[in-house]
Structure 1
Amino acid sequence: MYLPKVSIVTPCFNASEFIEETIKSVQSQTYNNWELIIVDDNSSDNSTILINNLKKTDNRIKLIELNNNVGPAKARNIAMENAEGKYIAFLDSDDLWLPSKLERQIEIMEKHDLILTFSNYRIIEENGELTSKVIKVPEKINYAQLLGNTIIGCLTVVFNREKTGDVRMPEFRDCPEDSALWLSILRSGSEAVGIQEELALYRKTKGSLSRNKIKAARKTWNMYRKLEKLNVIKSSFCFLNYSYNAMKKL
């Protein structure tokens, strides 16, 4: 049975507390044809030592070590430039996947010839304790709808690079670079498909953007004005929708 390769993009910066658990959640996947490309963004802790220890026994794990800190967007772009897979998936260095994540998503994408999918995910505490909060996603979302929504969790996204071509995250630190990438993929009229299953666990750490609502709001406004080039009226309309949908996620 043909199993297309999935390239998993993981930026890493001082993630020694969580990176082993994150990698093991990939190794526990029921879908085996993957490569995990970890780009270490000049960590000062022992993240790379832990990664290399796991890498010794699994040649699907690849580590790229940077000499300067470049930020998560550029780190992800470097990983994508080195990716070999038909599909690109994202997993940050403190988040986790459930074992059937890739198998379910690739099965659906291959069957229906989809460009981008995402799924429900559960919030976990910093110590890994499960919460009752599950982010549930719509069945589909298009460019216009996504402008006013943050429902697509980066840790759940898989896209088909044969359909998107070589896309990149904008390396503009004061914007939500992941949302900007999804918008760039959907701008041509495609729809992203939401899988109504809980496939990943998002760790809410002290430094996570979701905890800093003011910072997240500013970045979203900058995306409208500086990246999407929307006028003030359109930006304000989208921002009201964004604020409403963000409140629903709390």
Structure 2
Amino acid sequence: MKDLVSIIMLARNKERFVEPSIRSIMAQTYQNWELLFVDDASEDDTVTLLMKLSEEDRKRGRMSETKGLLEDGTAIDRIQVTKTIDSRGEACNRNLALRNAKGRWIAFLDAGDIWEPTKLEKQIQFMESNNYAFSYTTYRCIDMNMRDLGVVVAGPEQINYHEMLKCCWMGYQTVMYDSTKIGLLQVSCMATVNDYALWLQAAQKADCHLLSECLASQMVGKSLWHRLLTSDKWTWRYRTYRIVDGRNPITATYMTLRNMVYAIGKYRRKGAEGPTPNPSLKGGEIG
């Protein structure tokens, strides 16, 4: 039996974007997964939509073999929704989902981001064949209408802890790790760039390896350069180096500036053409 994949997804007021993301999970060629969705006190119909998709997946599971299975063969509902009463932030919600995860493999996806149908299958095969505990893939950038922006993002073939300190190389939606080797990861609920803090923890236990294939798409809400240069994430990068890594103020400032340079450099154009529609990224019914 194939090992279970636990997929972590968090959202707040993402009704507009969440369905294509979840359908890209439902369309995976690797079908033994569970989705742990934590809704951060949304005020729109995000949860209503999630329950509809969960029921749809449950019906599909009764008619086929598409259902989550634990190691002992127990069947589980694949889409599990938790709604918080008050907004607690990404870090606390991700910690909760990770504590509830039952799978060997841990993967991540944001509302609005998309996986290619073979993402899980290829990444697990890559990790198993090379005995890797921690990996990521190349990804493309898309706009809010899911049009390909012609930008592909990659990083080093192998990232150790010291290399990870230079830059958050990985796209959140591309990361996967083996929980039997990495263990349970938890970060401070005060951490804003909490995914980076999570990867730093994981990199202390295993190097991260690149599967050099574009298997995911990340939605970029604003101009890419605006997102890179004006985000307050740099303030939180500094705090991560100060608090998580224990660096002094001068070293933390240097590391933050270095991180910014590497972050800008990891984006590259696929070509001179402008954005073009990518039909594979559209939501809709799956077979």
**TM-score of the pair, normalised by structure 2:** 0.82
* Change in 2 beyond 3 A, CA 1:44/1:212: farther
* Offset, 1:208: 9.4
* Counterpart for residue 234 of structure 2: 217
Once residues 14 and 172 of structure 1 are traced to their aligned partners in structure 2, the CA distance between those partners, rounded to angstroms, is 21
* Counterpart for residue 98 of structure 1: 116
Structure 1 letter corresponding to 2:92: K
* Change in 2 beyond 3 A, CA 1:223/1:82: same
Matches within 5 A, 1:150-189: 150-173=168-191, 175-188=192-205
Equivalent residues of 2:154, 2:170 under 8 A apart: no
Structure 2 residue 157 is matched with structure 1 residue 139: yes
* Counterpart for residue 73 of structure 1: 91
Equivalent residues of 1:137, 1:195 under 8 A apart: no
Equivalent residues of 2:228, 2:264 under 8 A apart: no
Once residues 33 and 224 of structure 2 are traced to their aligned partners in structure 1, the CA distance between those partners, rounded to angstroms, is 27
What whole-Å deviation, never above 9, does each CA across 1:15-69 have from its counterpart, x for those lacking one? 1001111110000111101001111111000001111111112231111111111
Structure 1 letter corresponding to 2:229: K
* Counterpart for residue 271 of structure 2: none
SS in structure 1 at match of 2:16: coil
* Counterpart for residue 205 of structure 1: 221
Structure 2 letter corresponding to 1:193: H
* Counterpart for residue 245 of structure 1: 262
Equivalent residues of 1:224, 1:235 under 8 A apart: yes
Unaligned ranges ≥5, structure 1 = none
Which of 1 and 2 has greater Rg? 2
When the two structures are aligned, how many residues end up with a matched partner?
247
SS in structure 2 at match of 1:225: helix
Structure 2 letter corresponding to 1:241: R
* Change in 2 beyond 3 A, CA 1:210/1:84: farther
Structure 1 letter corresponding to 2:26: Q
* Change in 2 beyond 3 A, CA 1:217/1:105: same
SS in structure 1 at match of 2:221: coil
Once residues 45 and 226 of structure 2 are traced to their aligned partners in structure 1, the CA distance between those partners, rounded to angstroms, is 26
* Offset, 1:212: 5.7
Structure 2 letter corresponding to 1:27: M
Equivalent residues of 1:148, 1:240 under 8 A apart: no
Structure 2 letter corresponding to 1:91: L
Once residues 97 and 224 of structure 2 are traced to their aligned partners in structure 1, the CA distance between those partners, rounded to angstroms, is 21
Structure 2 residue 145 is matched with structure 1 residue 127: yes
SS in structure 1 at match of 2:187: coil
Structure 2 letter corresponding to 1:235: A
* Counterpart for residue 24 of structure 1: 23
Once residues 100 and 223 of structure 2 are traced to their aligned partners in structure 1, the CA distance between those partners, rounded to angstroms, is 28
Structure 2 letter corresponding to 1:106: I
Q: Percent identity?
A: 33
What is the Cα-based RMSD across aligned positions, in Å?
A: 1.8
Structure 2 residue 109 is matched with structure 1 residue 110: no
* Counterpart for residue 191 of structure 1: 207
Unaligned ranges ≥5, structure 2 = 58-76, 268-287
* Change in 2 beyond 3 A, CA 1:210/1:62: farther
**TM-score of the pair, normalised by structure 1:** 0.93
Matches within 5 A, 1:31-42: 31-42=30-41
* Offset, 1:139: 0.8
Once residues 245 and 98 of structure 1 are traced to their aligned partners in structure 2, the CA distance between those partners, rounded to angstroms, is 26
* Change in 2 beyond 3 A, CA 1:69/1:120: same
